[in-house]
A and B are shown apart, each in its own frame.
Chain A
Amino acid sequence: MNTSESSVRDRLCEALREREEEIADRWVRLQLEQAVLSTDMSEHEVREEADLLISALAAGLASDVPVERLVTSRNELRQTVIELSLRRARAGASPTATSMAVLSLKEALLSAVQHTTRDSAELFSAAILVNRLLDAAGVLSFETYVEGREEIIQRQSRQLLEVSTPVVRLWRHVLAVPLIGTLDTARTQVVMESLLQAIQDNEAQVAIIDITGVPAVDTAVAQHLMHTVNAVRLMGADCVISGIRPPIAQTIAQLGIDLSTILTRATLADALAAAIQLTDQPAVGQDAGTARSVTA
């Protein structure tokens, strides 16, 4: 940091301290003018945010952390930017609008500096400094926004998952999960968890996984199915997969996936028949019995 930069920094600090109100007012006005706010936020809330951010900025500038790293390494400042962005993400503002709002603070800051000096060289340095400072804030705001939205999306998809995978009891000691739609890792894990729990709760001996409603099977999905079947077997129950339609059978054959250790049936009805047969087997005197070998 050279002397001219530190003097510009002092100048900026001074402007922030002395013209805090003015900067906040101007920033709020800019945001309202640019219509970057969503309707969900009142002017009062925006003003509160502005006050918080400006005081965090002032505190940050008064420290000796380099400007580029102020926003990321000053905790208070970072937190303020994050909260501001999250609040807007939840209120439904677009990511562009959110980071534009942060960036429009540049203008408010610079016009405040203009009141304190007329020296164009100094003003130029101040502009660069403000840019470096607030660009980092804009980037952080954008990142936070995206993360915030992602969190919402994840929560929703998780809720959706839980309702979309019912485990039903078809017969005494026989459970079934009809799968509909695309299978991915997250979904398969939810299916697996609820199926295994249901097996324990119902003392089920056979679980049927019906994939009639699954449009396509790739290596990953087949892998997930194998995992589920193996977990069911480890618990001491059996697994039947039904509803493998001709195109899927073809894919499985072409992919060279080995489902040979898995009991499969064409329809759910066939699978149920097979399951009942399995549960009716007298446990005694047969080597397989009710205990299933997990031999691969």
Chain B
Amino acid sequence: MTLHGEWLAGSELIAQRSAPTGAPATSGRTGGRTGTTGAAEPAAPAGGPGGTSRFNVASEEDLLTVRHAVRAATVEAGFGLVDQTRIVTAASELARNAYVHGGGGSLEIEMLTRGGRRGLRLTVRDDGPGIRDLDEALTDGFTTGSGLGHGLGGARRLMHEFQVHSVPGEGTTVVVARWNDR
């Protein structure tokens, strides 16, 4: 899985909103699989091996499971109630996108630490048809399925960092992160 590499290099990298501190989002990382690879800051001690856990999104029940897991991770990272709600809502939007449009996929939760701040990164992948026009998909009101079309655009507004990579016919990967301001 070399998606990260491709997508950092590729021209399809769009819509990156940096964290308040101007985080160099996901640079220097190689294939974001389990374990902290590459630029190694030890991830927050708790939260599974290497601070990363991964869930399948293949059924409606999985959507609930993912929500629970993300909620638990936000609590562990010390987020306040409103931030918890923002992150779980964003996760719900993205996981539903992967399930409804992508025909199922996976969601990965990573604990982050940088300069004493803690954060959470979610990576949602699917192997679905991909998004033909990303700009359009990020526009409010655009939808190809159920929902209000706020999935992508809404998730972007709720998080500090947002990246999406999509190749028609090959699937979509969305990476979002939020830092704890407390």
Complex interface bits, B14-48 against A, C-beta within 8 A gives 1, otherwise 0: 00000011000000100000000011111000000
- Min CB gap B101→A, angstroms: 27
Which residues from B are CB-within-8-Å of A151? 115-117
- Min CB gap B41→A, angstroms: 8
Smallest CB-CB separation from A152: which chain B residue?
A: B116
> How far does the alpha carbon of A3 sit from the alpha carbon of B52 in the complex, in Å?
40
Which residues from A are CB-within-8-Å of B9? none
Give the segment of A9-17, A70-78, A118-126 that binds chain B: A70-78
Near B by CB (< 8 A), chain A positions 1-48 give none
> How far does the alpha carbon of A150 sit from the alpha carbon of B28 in the complex, in Å?
22
> How far does the alpha carbon of A293 sit from the alpha carbon of B117 in the complex, in Å?
40
Q: A148 an interface residue at 8 Å Cβ cutoff?
A: yes
Q: B181 an interface residue at 8 Å Cβ cutoff?
A: yes
> How far does the alpha carbon of A151 sit from the alpha carbon of B116 in the complex, in Å?
7
> How far does the alpha carbon of A72 sit from the alpha carbon of B181 in the complex, in Å?
26
Which residues from A are CB-within-8-Å of B114? 147
Near B by CB (< 8 A), chain A positions 145-181 give 147-148, 150-151, 154, 158
Which residues from A are CB-within-8-Å of B41? 78
Which residues from A are CB-within-8-Å of B42? 75, 79
Contact status of A144 and B182, CB under 8 A, knowing A73-B39, A75-B42:
no
Near B by CB (< 8 A), chain A positions 75-105 give 75, 78-79, 86
- Min CB gap A263→B, angstroms: 25
By secondary structure, the A interface counts as helix
Smallest CB-CB separation from B28: which chain A residue?
A: A72
Number of interface residues of B (CB under 8 A): 16
> How far does the alpha carbon of A147 sit from the alpha carbon of B23 in the complex, in Å?
10
Q: B1 an interface residue at 8 Å Cβ cutoff?
A: no
Smallest CB-CB separation from A189: which chain B residue?
A: B82
> How far does the alpha carbon of A78 sit from the alpha carbon of B115 in the complex, in Å?
13
Near A by CB (< 8 A), chain B positions 64-95 give 80, 82
Of B28, B80, B82, most A-chain CB atoms within 10 Å: B82
> How far does the alpha carbon of A22 sit from the alpha carbon of B28 in the complex, in Å?
36
Near B by CB (< 8 A), chain A positions 107-159 give 144, 147-148, 150-151, 154, 158
Contact A78 B21 (CB under 8 A): no
Contact status of A73 and B38, CB under 8 A, knowing A144-B115, A151-B115, A151-B117:
yes
> How far does the alpha carbon of A144 sit from the alpha carbon of B116 in the complex, in Å?
10
Which residues from A are CB-within-8-Å of B116? 86, 147-148, 151
- Min CB gap B161→A, angstroms: 16
Complex interface bits, A201-234 against B, C-beta within 8 A gives 1, otherwise 0: 0000000000000000000000000000000000
> How far does the alpha carbon of A188 sit from the alpha carbon of B87 in the complex, in Å?
19
Q: A186 an interface residue at 8 Å Cβ cutoff?
A: yes
Smallest CB-CB separation from A86: which chain B residue?
A: B116
Contact A186 B115 (CB under 8 A): no
- Min CB gap A234→B, angstroms: 13
Can you name 24 A-B pairs with beta carbons within 8 Å?
Answer: A72-B28, A72-B39, A73-B38, A73-B39, A75-B40, A75-B42, A78-B40, A78-B41, A86-B116, A144-B115, A147-B21, A147-B114, A147-B115, A147-B116, A150-B21, A150-B115, A151-B115, A151-B117, A154-B20, A154-B181, A158-B181, A186-B181, A189-B82, A193-B82
- Beyond the given A144-B115, A186-B181, A193-B80, please list 15 additional residue pairs across the A-B interface where CB-CB is below 8 A: A75-B40, A78-B40, A86-B116, A147-B21, A147-B114, A147-B115, A148-B115, A148-B116, A150-B21, A150-B115, A151-B116, A154-B20, A158-B181, A158-B182, A193-B82
Q: Which residues of B contact A (CB under 8 A)?
A: 20-21, 28, 38-42, 80, 82, 114-117, 181-182
Instruction: List the 5 shortest-distance A-B pairs measured between CB atoms, nearest first.
Output: A147-B115, A151-B116, A75-B40, A151-B115, A193-B82
